[in-house]
Amino acid sequence: MRHVLQALTALAVLVLACGSTLAQSSPDLPGDEPNDDPRGNVNIGTPIVVPLDPMSNAVHLGFGMTVGGGYNFTRRHGAIGEFMWNRMIPSNEAMAKVRTALKDPTLNASASVIAMTGNYRFELRGRALGAYLIGGGGLYYRKTSLSKEVTTGSNITCTPNLEWWGFTCESGTITANQTVGSWSASALGGNAGVGFTTRVGEAPYRFYIETRYHYAPNPRVNTQLIDISFGVRY
């Protein structure tokens, strides 16, 4: 986590430096382009999700969608409400361990992470290019499902991989004789990231690329991931 925060700090410095250059080289001319300074903001994008430890013990990649909208107090300061949905893909190695532990070679699984957050955005925007910082918090909901209900045996070693799929542990082993088919958990969490924009067609539409770190202390296994999003907003 320390390395993630260091990387985000470095990116934040880069955003501010680039944004300062953009602001100086492309001064705001609202009189020339009144549509480039809207009071409302809307965004829709597709994130590629990279899970971090301990999530990475069970899933290795995710895809989904992000939609949001809000209000721009000024050209630089805005509030955004967002909905994020991601389908997480179990790794082959993780599923092999689950099948071995539960003695069921036909078992499959799926998982999703949903977040509803409120965020603040600080943006430095020129005519063609822009950069911004974004961060906030909200509710993170996670759901996992096995392809069928499974009843555990005894003396199965507890691992983050098995906990991710909903199994409980006692004294280092999976609780015996529990039946699990699906499991969900929610928690309050936060996010922070940086983004870059470029003009697409007429103002105020812009293409954006963004990277954001998300964290939520969900029960059993924390939600920790980095999403890299591509999309359009104004």
For the chain, percent of residues with pLDDT exceeding 70: 85
Other CB atoms within 10 A of residue 127 CB = 16
How is domain 2-233 classified at the CATH fold level? Porin (2.40.160)
Task: Tell me the C-alpha distance between 119 and 191, whole Å.
Answer: 9
Task: Quote the CA–CA distance of 140 and 215 in Å, as a whole number.
Answer: 9
Mean pLDDT of the chain, nearest integer: 87
Helix (H) or strand (E) holding 225: strand 223-233
pTM score of the predicted model = 0.84
Residue 99 pLDDT level (bands cut at 50, 70, 90): very high
User: Beta strand 77-90 with 179-199: parallel, antiparallel or unpaired?
Assistant: unpaired
Write the CA distances from 138 to 4, 34, 189, 190, 214, integer angstroms: 20, 33, 6, 6, 10
pLDDT interval class at 204 (50, 70, 90):
confident
Domain ranges, ordered by start, for the chain: 2-233
* Structure confidence by residue, pLDDT tens digits, 150-184: 999 889 999 999 999 999 998 899 999 999 999 99
The arithmetic mean of pLDDT across residues 110-132, rounded, is 95
Sign of CA dihedral 39, 230, 140, 147: positive
Question: Can you tell me the mean pLDDT for 7-16?
Answer: 45
pLDDT at 33 (0 to 100): 58
Quote the pLDDT of residue 32: 45
The whole-angstrom separation of Cα 101 and Cα 157 is 8
Closest CA to 63 of 42, 89, 83, 38: 89
In angstroms, the first-to-last Cα distance of the chain is 32
Tally: H helices and E strands in the chain: 3, 10
Predicted pLDDT at 24 = 44
Secondary structure letter of residue 175 according to DSSP: P
Q: How far is CA 198 from CA 74, 138, 179, 184, 233, in A?
A: 19, 28, 51, 38, 10
